[in-house]
Protein backbone atom coordinates (compact mmCIF):
# COMPACT_ATOMS: atom_id res chain seq x y z
CA UNK A 1 0.00 0.00 0.00
CA UNK A 2 2.35 2.70 -1.24
CA UNK A 3 1.08 6.27 -1.51
CA UNK A 4 0.98 5.98 -5.30
CA UNK A 5 -1.05 2.75 -5.17
CA UNK A 6 -3.52 4.22 -2.69
CA UNK A 7 -4.21 7.18 -4.98
CA UNK A 8 -4.38 4.87 -8.02
CA UNK A 9 -6.99 2.68 -6.33
CA UNK A 10 -9.03 5.68 -5.17
CA UNK A 11 -8.98 7.08 -8.71
CA UNK A 12 -10.28 3.77 -10.12
CA UNK A 13 -13.02 3.46 -7.51
CA UNK A 14 -14.20 7.05 -7.97
CA UNK A 15 -14.84 6.44 -11.68
CA UNK A 16 -17.27 3.68 -10.69
CA UNK A 17 -19.38 6.15 -8.70
CA UNK A 18 -22.37 4.31 -7.22
CA UNK A 19 -20.88 0.97 -6.26
CA UNK A 20 -17.61 2.37 -4.96
CA UNK A 21 -19.23 5.20 -3.03
CA UNK A 22 -21.71 2.79 -1.47
CA UNK A 23 -18.82 0.59 -0.37
CA UNK A 24 -17.16 3.70 1.03
CA UNK A 25 -20.33 4.46 3.00
CA UNK A 26 -20.50 0.88 4.28
CA UNK A 27 -16.92 1.00 5.51
CA UNK A 28 -16.28 4.61 6.52
CA UNK A 29 -19.32 5.07 8.76
CA UNK A 30 -18.42 2.11 10.96
CA UNK A 31 -16.04 2.68 13.85
CA UNK A 32 -14.95 -0.98 13.81
CA UNK A 33 -11.16 -0.74 13.43
CA UNK A 34 -11.17 -4.04 11.50
CA UNK A 35 -9.46 -2.51 8.48
CA UNK A 36 -5.82 -1.62 8.13
CA UNK A 37 -5.16 2.17 8.29
CA UNK A 38 -4.30 2.24 4.57
CA UNK A 39 -7.52 0.49 3.51
CA UNK A 40 -9.61 2.60 5.89
CA UNK A 41 -8.04 5.70 4.34
CA UNK A 42 -8.94 4.50 0.82
CA UNK A 43 -12.62 4.14 1.71
CA UNK A 44 -12.73 7.53 3.41
CA UNK A 45 -11.09 9.21 0.41
CA UNK A 46 -13.66 7.58 -1.87
CA UNK A 47 -16.46 8.77 0.42
CA UNK A 48 -15.17 12.35 0.48
CA UNK A 49 -14.15 12.81 -3.17
CA UNK A 50 -17.19 12.22 -5.36
CA UNK A 51 -16.93 13.31 -9.00
CA UNK A 52 -19.80 15.09 -10.76
CA UNK A 53 -21.23 15.07 -14.28
CA UNK A 54 -20.21 17.60 -16.95
CA UNK A 55 -22.89 20.15 -17.77
CA UNK A 56 -23.97 18.58 -21.08
CA UNK A 57 -24.50 15.21 -19.41
CA UNK A 58 -26.51 16.71 -16.57
CA UNK A 59 -28.81 18.49 -19.06
CA UNK A 60 -29.28 15.28 -21.04
CA UNK A 61 -30.42 13.41 -17.92
CA UNK A 62 -32.95 16.12 -17.03
CA UNK A 63 -34.29 16.43 -20.60
CA UNK A 64 -34.68 12.68 -20.98
CA UNK A 65 -36.47 12.41 -17.64
CA UNK A 66 -38.56 15.61 -17.52
CA UNK A 67 -38.89 16.56 -21.17
CA UNK A 68 -37.31 19.27 -23.31
CA UNK A 69 -39.43 21.99 -21.66
CA UNK A 70 -37.89 21.38 -18.21
CA UNK A 71 -36.24 24.88 -17.98
CA UNK A 72 -39.72 26.45 -17.73
CA UNK A 73 -40.14 24.79 -14.34
CA UNK A 74 -37.26 26.74 -12.81
CA UNK A 75 -36.38 30.41 -12.50
CA UNK A 76 -32.75 29.31 -12.13
CA UNK A 77 -30.59 26.22 -11.65
CA UNK A 78 -26.95 26.26 -10.54
CA UNK A 79 -24.86 24.39 -13.08
CA UNK A 80 -22.31 23.15 -10.55
CA UNK A 81 -23.64 20.77 -7.87
CA UNK A 82 -23.15 21.55 -4.20
CA UNK A 83 -23.17 17.87 -3.20
CA UNK A 84 -22.60 14.45 -4.75
CA UNK A 85 -23.92 11.15 -3.46
CA UNK A 86 -23.46 7.50 -4.41
CA UNK A 87 -25.84 7.57 -7.37
CA UNK A 88 -26.39 11.25 -8.16
CA UNK A 89 -25.54 14.89 -7.55
CA UNK A 90 -27.48 17.78 -6.01
CA UNK A 91 -27.97 21.29 -7.43
CA UNK A 92 -29.43 24.47 -5.97
CA UNK A 93 -32.36 25.83 -7.96
CA UNK A 94 -35.42 28.08 -7.73
CA UNK A 95 -38.74 26.45 -8.63
CA UNK A 96 -40.93 28.90 -10.54
CA UNK A 97 -44.08 30.22 -8.88
CA UNK A 98 -46.25 28.65 -11.61
CA UNK A 99 -44.94 25.18 -10.70
CA UNK A 100 -44.39 25.59 -6.96
CA UNK A 101 -46.79 23.90 -4.49
CA UNK A 102 -46.87 27.14 -2.47
CA UNK A 103 -47.72 29.39 -5.43
CA UNK A 104 -44.46 31.29 -4.83
CA UNK A 105 -40.99 30.87 -6.26
CA UNK A 106 -39.21 28.49 -3.87
CA UNK A 107 -35.60 27.52 -3.25
CA UNK A 108 -35.21 23.82 -3.98
CA UNK A 109 -32.56 21.10 -4.11
CA UNK A 110 -32.53 19.11 -7.35
CA UNK A 111 -31.02 15.63 -7.16
CA UNK A 112 -30.00 14.33 -10.59
CA UNK A 113 -29.10 10.69 -11.07
CA UNK A 114 -25.91 9.65 -12.86
CA UNK A 115 -26.78 8.22 -16.31
CA UNK A 116 -27.09 4.43 -16.65
CA UNK A 117 -26.16 3.98 -12.98
CA UNK A 118 -28.74 1.17 -12.67
CA UNK A 119 -27.05 -0.79 -15.46
CA UNK A 120 -23.59 -0.45 -13.95
CA UNK A 121 -24.33 -1.67 -10.41
CA UNK A 122 -23.84 -5.40 -10.93
CA UNK A 123 -20.70 -5.14 -13.09
CA UNK A 124 -19.11 -2.53 -10.81
CA UNK A 125 -19.78 -4.59 -7.69
CA UNK A 126 -18.36 -7.64 -9.46
CA UNK A 127 -15.20 -5.69 -10.24
CA UNK A 128 -14.91 -4.45 -6.65
CA UNK A 129 -15.40 -7.97 -5.34
CA UNK A 130 -12.63 -9.26 -7.62
CA UNK A 131 -10.33 -6.42 -6.58
CA UNK A 132 -10.87 -6.89 -2.85
CA UNK A 133 -10.70 -10.69 -3.04
CA UNK A 134 -7.55 -10.80 -5.15
CA UNK A 135 -5.77 -8.29 -2.96
CA UNK A 136 -6.99 -9.81 0.34
CA UNK A 137 -7.76 -6.31 1.57
CA UNK A 138 -10.64 -7.35 3.82
CA UNK A 139 -10.78 -9.86 6.69
CA UNK A 140 -12.43 -13.20 5.86
CA UNK A 141 -15.01 -12.85 8.62
CA UNK A 142 -16.65 -9.88 6.90
CA UNK A 143 -18.35 -12.35 4.45
CA UNK A 144 -17.75 -10.18 1.38
CA UNK A 145 -20.25 -12.10 -0.79
CA UNK A 146 -23.14 -11.25 1.55
CA UNK A 147 -21.97 -7.64 1.90
CA UNK A 148 -21.84 -7.24 -1.89
CA UNK A 149 -25.29 -8.83 -2.24
CA UNK A 150 -26.81 -6.49 0.35
CA UNK A 151 -25.15 -3.50 -1.30
CA UNK A 152 -26.59 -4.51 -4.68
CA UNK A 153 -30.12 -4.58 -3.26
CA UNK A 154 -29.71 -1.25 -1.49
CA UNK A 155 -28.27 0.47 -4.55
CA UNK A 156 -31.08 -0.84 -6.76
CA UNK A 157 -33.65 0.60 -4.33
CA UNK A 158 -31.84 3.94 -4.12
CA UNK A 159 -31.89 4.31 -7.90
CA UNK A 160 -35.64 4.98 -7.72
CA UNK A 161 -36.19 8.61 -6.79
CA UNK A 162 -39.96 8.00 -6.93
CA UNK A 163 -39.41 5.52 -4.09
CA UNK A 164 -37.38 8.09 -2.15
CA UNK A 165 -40.04 10.75 -2.72
CA UNK A 166 -42.68 8.43 -1.25
CA UNK A 167 -40.62 8.06 1.94
CA UNK A 168 -40.08 11.81 2.19
CA UNK A 169 -43.85 12.29 2.07
CA UNK A 170 -44.43 9.49 4.58
CA UNK A 171 -41.90 10.78 7.12
CA UNK A 172 -43.28 14.30 6.71
CA UNK A 173 -46.85 13.17 7.37
CA UNK A 174 -48.64 13.67 10.73
CA UNK A 175 -48.48 9.91 11.40
CA UNK A 176 -44.68 10.08 11.42
CA UNK A 177 -42.79 13.34 12.04
CA UNK A 178 -45.15 15.98 10.65
CA UNK A 179 -46.28 17.04 14.13
CA UNK A 180 -42.90 16.68 15.86
CA UNK A 181 -41.46 20.22 16.28
CA UNK A 182 -37.92 18.86 16.69
CA UNK A 183 -37.70 17.73 13.06
CA UNK A 184 -38.18 19.19 9.60
CA UNK A 185 -38.74 16.94 6.56
CA UNK A 186 -38.64 18.85 3.23
CA UNK A 187 -41.62 18.71 0.88
CA UNK A 188 -41.28 17.04 -2.52
CA UNK A 189 -42.32 18.57 -5.84
CA UNK A 190 -44.97 16.53 -7.66
CA UNK A 191 -43.07 16.91 -10.94
CA UNK A 192 -40.17 14.78 -9.65
CA UNK A 193 -39.29 11.69 -11.68
CA UNK A 194 -37.37 8.48 -11.11
CA UNK A 195 -34.11 10.20 -12.16
CA UNK A 196 -34.72 13.80 -11.01
CA UNK A 197 -35.89 14.53 -7.46
CA UNK A 198 -36.89 18.10 -6.59
CA UNK A 199 -37.45 18.96 -2.93
CA UNK A 200 -37.58 21.95 -0.62
CA UNK A 201 -34.10 23.28 0.12
CA UNK A 202 -33.47 23.41 3.85
CA UNK A 203 -31.07 25.87 5.50
CA UNK A 204 -29.40 23.97 8.32
CA UNK A 205 -25.73 23.10 8.74
CA UNK A 206 -24.75 19.44 8.79
CA UNK A 207 -23.80 17.97 12.15
CA UNK A 208 -20.30 17.16 10.91
CA UNK A 209 -19.56 20.83 10.24
CA UNK A 210 -20.90 22.21 13.52
CA UNK A 211 -18.96 19.63 15.55
CA UNK A 212 -15.70 20.33 13.72
CA UNK A 213 -13.07 22.04 15.84
CA UNK A 214 -12.94 24.97 13.39
CA UNK A 215 -16.73 25.49 13.32
CA UNK A 216 -17.66 29.17 13.37
CA UNK A 217 -20.53 28.61 15.78
CA UNK A 218 -20.08 26.38 18.81
CA UNK A 219 -23.00 24.39 20.14
CA UNK A 220 -23.84 24.65 23.82
CA UNK A 221 -23.83 21.46 25.87
CA UNK A 222 -27.62 21.65 26.10
CA UNK A 223 -27.89 21.87 22.31
CA UNK A 224 -25.55 18.91 21.92
CA UNK A 225 -27.59 16.86 24.37
CA UNK A 226 -30.88 17.77 22.68
CA UNK A 227 -29.63 16.99 19.16
CA UNK A 228 -28.09 13.64 20.12
CA UNK A 229 -31.04 12.49 22.22
CA UNK A 230 -33.51 13.49 19.49
CA UNK A 231 -31.60 11.55 16.84
CA UNK A 232 -31.26 8.44 19.01
CA UNK A 233 -34.95 8.62 19.93
CA UNK A 234 -35.80 8.96 16.23
CA UNK A 235 -33.69 5.88 15.53
CA UNK A 236 -35.65 3.87 18.12
CA UNK A 237 -38.99 5.20 16.87
CA UNK A 238 -38.05 4.21 13.31
CA UNK A 239 -37.41 0.68 14.57
CA UNK A 240 -40.19 0.09 17.05
CA UNK A 241 -42.95 2.57 16.12
CA UNK A 242 -42.62 2.86 12.33
CA UNK A 243 -40.62 -0.27 11.42
CA UNK A 244 -39.33 2.02 8.67
CA UNK A 245 -35.86 3.52 8.94
CA UNK A 246 -33.69 5.93 7.02
CA UNK A 247 -30.55 3.83 7.36
CA UNK A 248 -27.75 6.16 6.24
CA UNK A 249 -26.39 7.91 9.37
CA UNK A 250 -23.94 10.09 7.43
CA UNK A 251 -23.42 13.41 9.26
CA UNK A 252 -24.56 15.32 6.15
CA UNK A 253 -28.07 13.84 6.38
CA UNK A 254 -28.75 15.62 9.69
CA UNK A 255 -28.78 19.42 9.50
CA UNK A 256 -29.10 21.69 12.52
CA UNK A 257 -31.04 24.90 11.94
CA UNK A 258 -30.15 27.28 14.76
CA UNK A 259 -32.95 29.72 13.81
CA UNK A 260 -35.83 27.21 13.87
CA UNK A 261 -34.17 24.95 16.48
CA UNK A 262 -34.95 21.97 14.29
CA UNK A 263 -33.04 18.98 12.94
CA UNK A 264 -33.60 18.92 9.19
CA UNK A 265 -33.64 15.42 7.66
CA UNK A 266 -32.53 14.80 4.07
CA UNK A 267 -31.74 11.82 1.82
CA UNK A 268 -34.34 9.11 2.30
CA UNK A 269 -33.05 6.90 -0.51
CA UNK A 270 -31.60 4.37 1.94
CA UNK A 271 -34.92 3.86 3.75
CA UNK A 272 -35.64 0.24 4.74
CA UNK A 273 -38.77 -1.49 6.05
CA UNK A 274 -38.69 -4.29 8.63
CA UNK A 275 -41.24 -7.04 9.22
CA UNK A 276 -43.09 -7.28 12.52
CA UNK A 277 -41.67 -10.78 13.06
CA UNK A 278 -38.09 -9.59 12.64
CA UNK A 279 -38.57 -6.59 14.90
CA UNK A 280 -40.25 -8.71 17.61
CA UNK A 281 -37.31 -11.12 17.58
CA UNK A 282 -34.68 -8.37 17.49
CA UNK A 283 -36.28 -6.59 20.44
CA UNK A 284 -36.35 -9.87 22.38
CA UNK A 285 -32.62 -10.20 21.67
CA UNK A 286 -31.88 -6.65 22.81
CA UNK A 287 -33.95 -7.09 25.96
CA UNK A 288 -31.99 -10.28 26.72
CA UNK A 289 -28.78 -8.29 26.32
CA UNK A 290 -30.11 -5.52 28.58
CA UNK A 291 -30.90 -8.06 31.30
CA UNK A 292 -27.53 -9.82 30.67
CA UNK A 293 -29.26 -13.16 30.13
CA UNK A 294 -26.61 -15.17 28.25
CA UNK A 295 -28.80 -18.19 27.47
CA UNK A 296 -31.69 -16.11 26.14
CA UNK A 297 -29.30 -13.91 24.17
CA UNK A 298 -27.88 -16.96 22.39
CA UNK A 299 -31.34 -18.44 21.75
CA UNK A 300 -32.69 -15.27 20.12
CA UNK A 301 -29.42 -14.80 18.17
CA UNK A 302 -29.85 -18.30 16.69
CA UNK A 303 -33.50 -17.60 15.85
CA UNK A 304 -32.53 -14.37 14.09
CA UNK A 305 -29.61 -15.96 12.23
CA UNK A 306 -26.68 -14.23 13.94
CA UNK A 307 -25.52 -17.67 15.08
CA UNK A 308 -25.99 -21.23 13.79
CA UNK A 309 -25.79 -22.89 17.22
CA UNK A 310 -22.64 -24.78 16.18
CA UNK A 311 -20.19 -22.06 17.20
CA UNK A 312 -17.54 -22.52 19.86
CA UNK A 313 -17.96 -21.09 23.35
CA UNK A 314 -15.35 -18.50 22.36
CA UNK A 315 -17.70 -17.16 19.65
CA UNK A 316 -20.76 -17.39 21.90
CA UNK A 317 -18.97 -15.39 24.60
CA UNK A 318 -17.73 -12.73 22.15
CA UNK A 319 -21.15 -12.33 20.53
CA UNK A 320 -22.98 -12.07 23.86
CA UNK A 321 -20.37 -9.63 25.16
CA UNK A 322 -20.78 -7.38 22.10
CA UNK A 323 -24.59 -7.42 22.45
CA UNK A 324 -24.55 -6.65 26.18
CA UNK A 325 -22.08 -3.82 25.61
CA UNK A 326 -24.36 -2.36 22.92
CA UNK A 327 -27.29 -2.52 25.35
CA UNK A 328 -25.44 -0.85 28.26
CA UNK A 329 -26.95 2.65 27.78
CA UNK A 330 -30.45 1.16 28.17
CA UNK A 331 -29.77 -0.97 31.26
CA UNK A 332 -31.67 -0.04 34.48
CA UNK A 333 -28.43 -0.20 36.50
CA UNK A 334 -26.54 2.20 34.19
CA UNK A 335 -25.82 5.59 35.74
CA UNK A 336 -27.83 8.38 34.12
CA UNK A 337 -27.46 10.73 32.37
CA UNK A 338 -25.29 8.56 30.17
CA UNK A 339 -22.15 10.22 28.83
CA UNK A 340 -20.82 9.90 25.28
CA UNK A 341 -17.55 11.25 23.87
CA UNK A 342 -13.89 10.86 24.79
CA UNK A 343 -13.16 9.75 28.33
CA UNK A 344 -16.79 8.76 28.84
CA UNK A 345 -18.61 5.54 29.68
CA UNK A 346 -19.36 5.12 25.96
CA UNK A 347 -15.67 5.40 25.07
CA UNK A 348 -14.97 2.53 27.46
CA UNK A 349 -17.77 0.45 25.90
CA UNK A 350 -16.42 1.15 22.41
CA UNK A 351 -12.93 0.03 23.42
CA UNK A 352 -14.28 -3.22 24.91
CA UNK A 353 -16.41 -3.87 21.82
CA UNK A 354 -13.36 -3.51 19.57
CA UNK A 355 -11.66 -6.25 21.55
CA UNK A 356 -14.42 -8.68 20.51
CA UNK A 357 -14.21 -7.93 16.77
CA UNK A 358 -11.09 -10.00 15.91
CA UNK A 359 -12.53 -12.94 17.84
CA UNK A 360 -15.83 -12.80 15.97
CA UNK A 361 -14.09 -12.41 12.61
CA UNK A 362 -12.07 -15.56 13.29
CA UNK A 363 -14.88 -17.71 14.73
CA UNK A 364 -18.04 -16.54 12.94
CA UNK A 365 -19.74 -19.34 10.97
CA UNK A 366 -22.43 -17.31 9.21
CA UNK A 367 -22.90 -13.71 8.09
CA UNK A 368 -25.30 -11.54 10.11
CA UNK A 369 -28.99 -11.41 9.09
CA UNK A 370 -29.59 -9.29 5.99
CA UNK A 371 -31.79 -6.81 7.87
CA UNK A 372 -29.09 -6.03 10.42
CA UNK A 373 -26.65 -4.52 7.92
CA UNK A 374 -28.79 -1.39 7.60
CA UNK A 375 -30.14 -1.51 11.16
CA UNK A 376 -26.71 -1.75 12.78
CA UNK A 377 -25.34 0.95 10.49
CA UNK A 378 -28.00 3.43 11.64
CA UNK A 379 -27.89 2.49 15.31
CA UNK A 380 -24.10 2.58 15.52
CA UNK A 381 -24.13 5.81 13.50
CA UNK A 382 -26.52 7.38 16.02
CA UNK A 383 -24.20 6.40 18.88
CA UNK A 384 -21.19 7.74 16.97
CA UNK A 385 -22.98 11.02 16.37
CA UNK A 386 -23.78 11.32 20.09
CA UNK A 387 -20.13 10.59 20.82
CA UNK A 388 -18.95 13.22 18.35
CA UNK A 389 -21.25 15.72 20.03
CA UNK A 390 -19.97 14.72 23.47
CA UNK A 391 -23.61 14.48 24.57
CA UNK A 392 -25.03 13.48 27.97
CA UNK A 393 -28.65 12.45 28.39
CA UNK A 394 -30.94 9.90 30.05
CA UNK A 395 -30.79 6.97 27.63
CA UNK A 396 -32.77 4.62 29.87
CA UNK A 397 -35.80 6.92 30.09
CA UNK A 398 -35.59 7.45 26.35
CA UNK A 399 -35.64 3.65 25.88
CA UNK A 400 -38.57 3.15 28.25
CA UNK A 401 -40.59 5.87 26.50
CA UNK A 402 -40.45 3.92 23.23
CA UNK A 403 -40.50 0.30 24.43
CA UNK A 404 -43.26 0.59 27.04
CA UNK A 405 -45.80 1.06 24.24
CA UNK A 406 -44.43 -1.69 21.98
CA UNK A 407 -46.88 -4.52 21.30
CA UNK A 408 -45.44 -7.95 20.47
CA UNK A 409 -47.38 -10.17 18.09
CA UNK A 410 -49.39 -12.84 19.86
Query: How far, rounded to the nearest angstrom, does the alpha carbon of residue 234 sit from its chain's CA centroid?
Result: 13
248 part of the active site: yes
Which listed residue (248, 313, 317, 348) is catalytic? 248
CA 113, 118, 121, 124 torsion-angle sign: negative
- Are residues 199 and 168 in contact, defined by beta-carbon separation less than 8 angstroms? yes
- Give just the sign of the alpha carbon dihedral 129, 130, 131, 133: positive
Closest CA to 27 of 380, 386, 393: 380
The residues that are catalytic are: 248
Amino acid sequence: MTEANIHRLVSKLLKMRGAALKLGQFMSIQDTHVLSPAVDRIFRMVQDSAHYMPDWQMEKVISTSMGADWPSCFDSLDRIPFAAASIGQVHRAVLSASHSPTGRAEDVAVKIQFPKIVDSIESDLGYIKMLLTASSLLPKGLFLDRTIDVMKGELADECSYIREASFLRKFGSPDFLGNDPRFKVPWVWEGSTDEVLVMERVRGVNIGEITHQNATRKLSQEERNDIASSILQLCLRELFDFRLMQTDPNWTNFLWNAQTRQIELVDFGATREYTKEFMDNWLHLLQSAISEDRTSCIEWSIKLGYLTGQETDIMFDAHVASMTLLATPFRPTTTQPFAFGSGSAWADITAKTREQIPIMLNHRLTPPPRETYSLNRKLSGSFLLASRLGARFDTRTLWDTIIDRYQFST
